[in-house]
Amino acid sequence: MSLQCGIVGLPNVGKSTLFNCLSNAKAQSANFPFCTIEPNVGVITVPDERLNQLADLVKPQRILPTTVEIVDIAGLVKGASKGEGLGNKFLANIRETNAILHVLRCFDDPNVVHVDGSVDPVRDKEIIDAELMIKDLETVDSRIQKVQKQAQTGGDKQAKIAYDVLVKYKAALEQGKPARTVTLDNKDEQTLANELFLLTSKPVMYVCNVDEASAANGNKYVEQVRNAVQEENAEVLVVAAKIESEIAELETYEERQMFLEEVGLKESGVARLIKAAYHLLKLKTYFTAGVQEVRAWTFEEGWKAPQCAGVIHTDFEKGFIRAEVIKFADFIQYGSESAVKEAGKLGVEGKEYLVQDGDIMHFRFNV
């Protein structure tokens, strides 16, 4: 699947350092703005303990995890909506992503220059928000001009729906609120809203980049961010990018775990970030398990069995007959597919079955 999360933020907040930890693709990381000019794309493995648990039981020849795409986008500055800095390129790149990981600097370090001269993550957040909202307001105003007459004088139902949605967005944006805060009344409005591709309608997670001492419990800057985003329905994640880069250089799993314990963490920030990005995109995982391979497959929340079968191959969806489903907990409890069948826990599902996260699937098809 080609769904992507874009890492955004002001220059020198730790975006590229974080991206380097996430991916083998090394973005240039330097102490000056715009060192990342073209967006770097990393296809990153999603950590999932369930995959290893299944592999321990099945003993397959290979294990294949699922992935998520992360895009490192050039740093933005005030005035980007008017083309300042790399503004136009930034806005085009972010429009192509499905969700936003907004990195905020939440650490003091006199050796790392801040583009605005001081550390203030809420101000930094508002700078980027303002630029995105200005661009969205331009989009909304332009669309209103096109549909207003049809909506108010004609009998065009779609134009009326479009106008109502646009007016809602305009009111929110003019109040300094992102499009994602707007409540839509029905599916028709949601469909039309999706066609607008507004920058501030994308789901967002604020990634607070902190110093080592704040890696486990955050700090005053993190609390400021949490208070500022309370009404946004957005997640906040605390990561110490400098520590993560040090962890990434350690060769063994045992060394990495010892390092994490020393700073008071059970799991690396990178692992938490990848999982959170995956969920931010509303992605889920189902598994196939056999002696050749145990594999994780990505699907979108709300997909039915034939759509999920199509992730493996389009023929599976076209010729879908049924899906044989084992719940993850049942597989772990009974230890094998045959034992699950003997216990009467294997489900046979049709085309309307909503696949659940963690399902172990076997598709029957005929083309």
**Beta pairing class for 99-105 and 204-209:** parallel
Tokens representing residue 133 in the block: 């909202």
**Residues found in the chain:** 367
102: β partners: 8, 206
Predicted local confidence at residue 225, as pLDDT: 95
For 29-82, what is each residue's pLDDT tens digit? 444 443 444 557 888 888 899 999 999 999 999 999 988 888 888 666 565 445
pLDDT of residue 76: 62
Q: How many CB atoms lie within 10 A of CB 316?
A: 20
Q: Which residues of 88-127 are buried (b: 16+ CB within 10 A; e: fewer)?
A: ebbbebbeebbbbbbbbbbbeeeeeebbeeebbbeebbeb
- The pLDDT assigned to 86 comes to 47
- Note whether 61 and 289 are within 8 A (CB): no
pLDDT at site 189: 86
Q: What is the pTM of this model?
A: 0.81
Beta strand ranges found along the chain (DSSP E): 4-8, 40-45, 62-64, 67-72, 99-105, 204-209, 235-239, 283-289, 293-300, 320-326, 347-349, 360-365
Q: Which two tokens stand for residue 225?
A: 């961010």
CA distances (Å), origin 289, targets 62, 224, 301, 356, 358: 10, 45, 21, 16, 12
Distance, in Å, from the CA atom of 210 to the CA atom of 226, rounded to the nearest integer, reads 14
Whole-number pLDDT of residue 15: 84
Tell me which residues of the chain have a pLDDT lower than 50. 25-37, 80-81, 85-87
- In the 8-state DSSP scheme, what is residue 267? S
Query: For the segment 282-305, what is each residue's pLDDT rounded down to a tens digit?
Result: 899 999 999 999 999 999 999 999
Pairing between β-strand 293-300 and β-strand 62-64 as defined by DSSP bridges: parallel
Residue 304 forms beta bridges with which residues?
A: 354
Amino acid at 164: D
100 beta partners:
6, 204
Tell me phi and psi for residue 272, to 5 degrees. Answer: -65, -40
